[in-house]
Chains A and B, each alone.
Chain A
Amino acid sequence: MFRFLLSSIGIARLLSAYLLRQPGWLVQDFMFAFALLVILYSWGGREGISYAITGYIAASAFSFGINGVGTIIGWNRVMRTLELYIASPITPRAFLIGAILGEIPYFIVIAILYLIVGGVLGQLSIVLYALLVALLISPLSILLGLAAAFYVKKPANLSAITNPLTFIGTMLPPVFYPVAVLPDFLRLPALLIPTAAAAELARTLAGLSRSFDPLPLFLIIFAWTLLAVLFANRVVKWSLD
């Protein structure tokens, strides 16, 4: 167990070297998360902040796996360093945990900011529910990122696929706005999108929305995760072809 953990830490340290050298990436994410609070506060006061917190935490959790973990693995395919890791005692599990640990600073920065804001404004429970939902949706996003990183034939083009996917998955559906503003016939299809289901689940748990029960929303995320497990299982190969 200790050896496994050490191995994951070694991988995390190697894969996150870019964050140590270019912390501007973290600053950018922090500033975006903060700016979103300001923007939504200016339109909706404290309620606006609640939507910023639930929406952005759900969106970040989705982006974390696809854009973070997926891209870093794709980058290692481009640099051919993935071969260095495969042809070694490093297990795929240790590598994946390392890749997740290496990308987690992005999420920690946002979580800390929102925990502070939530604490100051008395909305801590909203942040905690949103983080709980982030934990629910993270396996889906990680599996999708992993699958994309191995599935794409030309890994140098990976970001051209994952970036639009993340953007479309978080900006268009009701992630930052309530599903209730959509016409009746669009609500259910919109909530079939996992990011929307996650954000709505966070809002429902936090008492911001009463449109849907939490169980169907949870089941939507679960079903997507199951599909992602099947897809990843099919395309992810720790080589031997």
Chain B
Amino acid sequence: MGEAVLANKLGKLYQNGVWGCREVSFLTLTGETVVLLGPNGSGKSTTIHMLTTLIKPTKGEGKVLGYDIVKDYEKVRKNIALMPQEGRPDPNWTPYEAVKWYLVARGLSLSSASAEAKMWLEELDLWEVRNRTGWEISGGQRRRTLVAMVLASDAPVIFLDEPTDGMDVEGKYKVWDALRKATKRGRSIVYTTHNMREAEQVASKVVIISEGKSVVSGPPHELVRGLPFRYRVRASRKPANAEFSVRVGETVIAYFESFSEALSALEEGSASVEEVSLEDVYLYYVKGRGSVSISP
């Protein structure tokens, strides 16, 4: 598999003196979906903005299909499509004309644009409403229209910044299925979300970003396996025998290597002992002690 997207210690210092991100590194191979996970303001969108040539990095380097994101930005743009965070399609567009004319604007012929529009609108369950304007369809359908616009493009590398934000469960599943179809066709995807379940569903690789730095990356199951504990319990305060714990609001999540220890920490009213998941990887690296610099 070839190298689709490379971020090597990318950092961005804004004019107001705030670092949008400090040092983000990851590699996306052809056909992979890399999910950037991190809290609000951690630098996910800034990273996407740098890689899509919207902003210039202050430090580090970025490449898309081997093209430098600053020096070769025009070549980068020829090979990418971006669904911006909080992007809203014009409510006067119908899904069909939005996808079709966006593809024409990107340089596809009318016939290819029409065919691709049909295929991706069907894939995203929008064909039935293809001729309704944005005023007449739901918010989730409008978001899916934007997803259809970028997935239908001929771009080999696609960036989606929180694409399923505000979508219902069914809509999210449609998007995830469409992403799988896109990667099967050789597309490479860089994706941001706050939703752990979503990351588990779509990611070939997850990159966790905390305070502007990528702190860990790898396939979701490997990251989960790499945690130094297997079980978790929710409690009101840290159990004495917990190997590690994090406080999330009023709740303490305590971690244990063995099931029996976890069981002994159960408080009255606690739901159950749970196996660790990607959410715990996130909590471990973002709120906990896990903090290591990584290279791509």
Chain A: residues with CB nearer than 8 A to chain B? 3, 6-11, 13-14, 17-18, 20-22, 79-81, 83-90, 94, 98, 239-241
- B52 beta carbon closer than 8 Å to chain A: yes
- Can you give 11 A-B contacts (C-beta < 8 A)? A17-B90, A17-B97, A18-B90, A81-B90, A83-B52, A84-B82, A84-B87, A87-B54, A87-B80, A88-B80, A239-B54
Smallest Cβ-Cβ distance to B52: which chain A residue: A87
Besides the known contacts A18-B90, A240-B56, 10 further A-B residue pairs in the complex with CB atoms under 8 A apart = A6-B107, A10-B102, A14-B102, A17-B90, A22-B92, A81-B84, A84-B102, A84-B146, A87-B53, A240-B53
Bound Cα distance A80, B90 (Å)? 10
Chain B residues contacting A7 (CB-CB under 8 Å) are: 104-107
Chain B: residues with CB nearer than 8 A to chain A? 52-56, 70, 73, 77-78, 80-90, 92-93, 97-98, 101-107, 109-110, 133, 146, 149-150, 153, 155, 159
The residue that B87 contacts in the complex, of A10, A79, A98, with Cβ under 8 A, is A79
Asked if A98 and B90 sit within 8 Å, CB to CB, the answer is: no
The residue that A98 contacts in the complex, of B84, B98, B105, B150, with Cβ under 8 A, is B105
Bound Cα distance A94, B74 (Å)? 14
Bound Cα distance A20, B101 (Å)? 14
Chain A residues contacting B90 (CB-CB under 8 Å) are: 14, 17-18, 79, 81
Smallest Cβ-Cβ distance to A83: which chain B residue: B84
Bound Cα distance A90, B105 (Å)? 6
Asked if A240 and B54 sit within 8 Å, CB to CB, the answer is: yes
Asked if A90 and B159 sit within 8 Å, CB to CB, the answer is: no
The verdict on A10 contacting B70 (CB below 8 Å), with A83-B82, A86-B53, A87-B159 known, is no
Bound Cα distance A84, B153 (Å)? 11
Asked if A86 and B101 sit within 8 Å, CB to CB, the answer is: no
The residue that A81 contacts in the complex, of B77, B88, B106, with Cβ under 8 A, is B88
CB of A229 to closest CB in B, whole Å: 22
Chain B residues contacting A84 (CB-CB under 8 Å) are: 81-84, 87, 102, 146, 149-150
The residue that A80 contacts in the complex, of B86, B98, B107, B159, with Cβ under 8 A, is B86
Bound Cα distance A84, B52 (Å)? 10
Smallest Cβ-Cβ distance to A239: which chain B residue: B54
Name the 5 nearest CB pairs between A and B, nearest first. Answer: A10-B105, A10-B104, A87-B82, A87-B52, A17-B92
Bound Cα distance A13, B89 (Å)? 14
Bound Cα distance A15, B83 (Å)? 18
CB of B144 to closest CB in A, whole Å: 15
The residue that A88 contacts in the complex, of B82, B85, B92, B110, with Cβ under 8 A, is B82
Chain A residues contacting B82 (CB-CB under 8 Å) are: 83-84, 87-88
Chain B residues contacting A98 (CB-CB under 8 Å) are: 105
